[in-house]
Amino acid sequence: MANQHRPKPIRVLDCPVGTEYDEETFRYFLGIEQARAAREGHQLRILLATVEPTAGQSVPFPRAGAVRFFEALRLAVRDTDVMGWYRQGQVAAAVLTAPSGSIDVELTSQLERRVGDDLRRRMPRTLTAALRVRIVHQPVGEPSRARGTA
Amino acid sequence: MSASVLQFPIGMDTLVRQVTARPPDPATSRDHGRPRAGAYVLGPRVFRDALVRERKRADRLAAPFAVLVVD
């Protein structure tokens, strides 16, 4: 019973300059953006990228490919967007922050095509055909239930 | 299967279905058993990144922006 009141250990989120956020750090910021979106009453837009040599079966990003991918992604999204691993080494992602209001579905499709094409142009040829990029709208919870820190 | 517990390897279509399956509840949900915001403190590089992002966002939206410095 006493264990229930023991404070959780505090973890420090940090990563080297010039590298993408690891899964834990990315999920931390994703949680903050989810809370912010819930407070403001709009959906969250998330870019997801996987490497699928065979449809329906993702494989880990090759290390060099991941470096190139995040370099290219940095050029394709805004400086207020959050990039990192949604699943470490396997699913790269970016939270595409929006100011407020509803997100236009047609605009999102255009953005998905444009960013996807741009990323493929900058990736090693061996990965171009296997790279899958999607931008999805993630519904958020009720504003009253969300507790964020930003 | 819970939307927050992703089984790999999976394809993009399955991933998208899981990510968009249900509204996450930031107050109670857990991903892979990890605690949510509140049990973390940001290291220097991540804090600086977040500070720059938030400042740019505030500039873009013409929103107020403040930093609390505890010395």
Q: Name all domains of chain A by residue range, CATH numbers in brackets.
A: 21-139 (3.30.70.270)
> Does A69 have pLDDT greater than 90?
yes
Taking residue A69's Cβ as centre, other Cβ atoms within 10 Å add up to 24
> Does B4 have pLDDT greater than 80?
no
Determine the Cα–Cα distance for residues A141 and A119; give it in Å rounded to an integer: 31
> Does A52 have pLDDT greater than 60?
yes
Of A83-87, A112-116, A144-148, B63-67, least confident by mean pLDDT is: A144-148
Q: Read off the tokens for A94.
A: 């970016």
Instruction: Please tell me the pTM assigned to this model.
Output: 0.81
The chain B residues in contact with chain A (CB within 8 A) are 6, 8-16, 19-20, 22-27, 31, 34-46, 50, 52-54, 56-57, 60-61
> Does A44 have pLDDT greater than 70?
yes
pLDDT at B58: 92
- Which of A31, A59, A145 is nearest residue B36 as measured by Cβ atoms? A31
Calculate how close chain A gets to B31, using CA atoms only, in Å.
8
Mean pLDDT of chain A: 84
Calculate how close chain A gets to B70, using CA atoms only, in Å.
17
CB A65 within 8 A of CB A74: no
Q: Would you call A37 an interface residue with chain B, using a CB distance cutoff of 8 Å?
A: no
Determine the Cα–Cα distance for residues A18 and A98; give it in Å rounded to an integer: 25
DSSP A29-91: HHHHHHHHHHHHT--EEEEEEEEEEETTEEEPPPHHHHHHHHHHHHHHS-TTSEEEEEETTTE
A139/B26 touch (CB, cutoff 8 Å), yes or no? no
Taking residue B49's Cβ as centre, other Cβ atoms within 10 Å add up to 18
Determine the Cα–Cα distance for residues A84 and A28; give it in Å rounded to an integer: 11
Q: Which has the closest alpha carbon to A33: A107, A144, A112, A138?
A: A138
Q: Residue for token digits 């991918």? A: A69
Share of chain A above pLDDT 90, in %: 45
Size of interface A-B (CB pairs under 8 A): 125
Element (H, E) at B50: helix B44-61
Mean pLDDT of chain B: 77
CB A150 within 8 A of CB A35: yes
A80/B56 touch (CB, cutoff 8 Å), yes or no? yes
DSSP three-state, residue A136: strand
Chain A residues whose beta carbon lies within 8 Å of the beta carbon of residue B52: 79
Of A59-73, A76-90, A102-116, least confident by mean pLDDT is: A102-116
Q: Read off the tokens for B3.
A: 């939307």
Torsion of CA A108, A48, B55, B48, to 10 degrees: -170
DSSP A19-44: S-B-HHHHHHHHHHHHHHHHHHT--E
Band of residue B32 on the pLDDT scale cut at 50, 70, 90: very low
Strand partners, A131: A51
Chain B residues whose beta carbon lies within 8 Å of the beta carbon of residue A25: 46
Chain B residues whose beta carbon lies within 8 Å of the beta carbon of residue A149: 37-38
Q: Which has the closest alpha carbon to A90: A119, A109, A63?
A: A63
- Which of A8, A90, A139 is nearest residue B23 as measured by Cβ atoms? A139
